[in-house]
A and B are shown apart, each in its own frame.
Chain A
Amino acid sequence: MLKYVIRRLVMLIGIIFVISVGSFYLIHLLPGDPAAVILGTGDSPSNRAKLYKLLGLNKSIFDQYFIWIRNVVRGNLGISFISQTSVASTIRAALPIDLEIMGLSQIVAFAVAIPLAMRSARKPDGLVDRLLGATSFTLLSIPPFIIIVLLVLFISIKMGVPNIGVASYVSFGTDWIVNLESLALPAFTLAIGSFVVYYRVLRSDMIATLQEEFITMARSKGISQRRIMWRHAFRPSSVALLGAAGVNIGGLLAGGFVVQYLLAIPGLGYTLIAAINDSDYLLVQGIVLVVSVGVVLINFFFDFVINIVDPRISRE
Chain B
Amino acid sequence: MSEFIQETEMAQEALLEASMVERPEKNQPLGPMFWICVGWLALNIIGAIFANVLPVQNPLNQDYNFINSGPSLHHIFGTDDLGRDIFARIVYGSRVSIAVGAGSMLIGFGIGAPLGMLAAYRRGRFDTFVTTVMYVFLAFPAIIAVIAVLSFWTPRSMFKIIVVIGFASVPLVYRVIRTATLAIATKDYVIAAKVQGATDRRILMKELLPNIAPIGISFLLIGVATVVTLEGALAFLGLSVNPPTPSWGNMINESRTILAENPWLVLFPSLALCLFLLCLNFIGDRVRSHFDVTEVKL
Contact = CB atoms under 8 A, between A and B. Distances in A.
A152 B255 CA distance: 12
Interface in B118-163: 136, 139-141, 143-145, 147-149, 151-153
Contact of A145 (B141, B145, B233): B233
Contacts of B102: none
Contacts of B36: none
Contacts of A149: 252, 255-256, 259, 266, 270
Nearest to A258: B233
Contacts of B270: 146, 149-150
B293 to A, nearest CB: 15
Contacts of B236: 145, 258, 261-262
Interface in B210-252: 225, 229, 232-233, 236-237, 252
Interface centre among A152, A255, A296 (most CB of B within 10 A): A255
A135 to B, nearest CB: 12
A240 B55 CA distance: 50
B259 A273 contact: no
Given A146-B274, A273-B147, A292-B139, A124 B237 contact: no
Interface stretch (A14-22, A57-65, A305-313): A14-22
B136 A138 contact: no
26 contacts: A23-B140, A30-B153, A137-B282, A140-B281, A143-B233, A143-B273, A143-B277, A145-B252, A146-B274, A149-B256, A149-B259, A150-B270, A153-B266, A157-B260, A210-B22, A211-B22, A258-B236, A258-B237, A273-B147, A276-B147, A276-B148, A277-B151, A288-B148, A292-B139, A295-B139, A295-B141
Contacts of A26: 145, 148
B273 A146 contact: yes
B23 interface: yes
A281 to B, nearest CB: 9
Interface residues of B, number: 40
Contacts of A138: 278
A294 B274 CA distance: 31
Given A18-B139, A153-B259, A288-B144, A145 B152 contact: no
B192 interface: no
B70 interface: no
A129 B141 CA distance: 34
A71 B273 CA distance: 46
Contacts, number: 107
Nearest to A273: B237
Given A143-B273, A149-B266, A258-B233, A207 B282 contact: no
A150 B233 contact: no
Given A15-B136, A141-B278, 11 more contacts: A19-B139, A23-B140, A30-B148, A137-B281, A141-B277, A142-B274, A145-B232, A150-B270, A157-B260, A276-B148, A292-B140
List the 6 shortest-distance A-B pairs measured between CB atoms, nearest first. Answer: A254-B141, A141-B278, A141-B277, A30-B152, A143-B229, A124-B24
Given A143-B232, A146-B273, A292-B141, A284 B22 contact: no
Interface centre among A15, A125, A157, A258 (most CB of B within 10 A): A258
Contacts of B148: 26-27, 30, 276, 284, 288
A291 B237 contact: no
A34 to B, nearest CB: 12
A254 B144 contact: yes
B219 to A, nearest CB: 15
B273 to A, nearest CB: 7
A272 B144 contact: yes
A204 B25 CA distance: 11
A32 interface: yes
Given A211-B21, A254-B141, A288-B144, A146 B252 contact: yes
A187 B139 CA distance: 25
A145 B234 CA distance: 10
Contacts of A216: 21
A45 interface: no
A222 interface: no
A31 interface: yes
Contacts of A279: 152
B141 A31 contact: no
A18 B136 contact: yes
A278 to B, nearest CB: 10
Contacts of A273: 147, 237
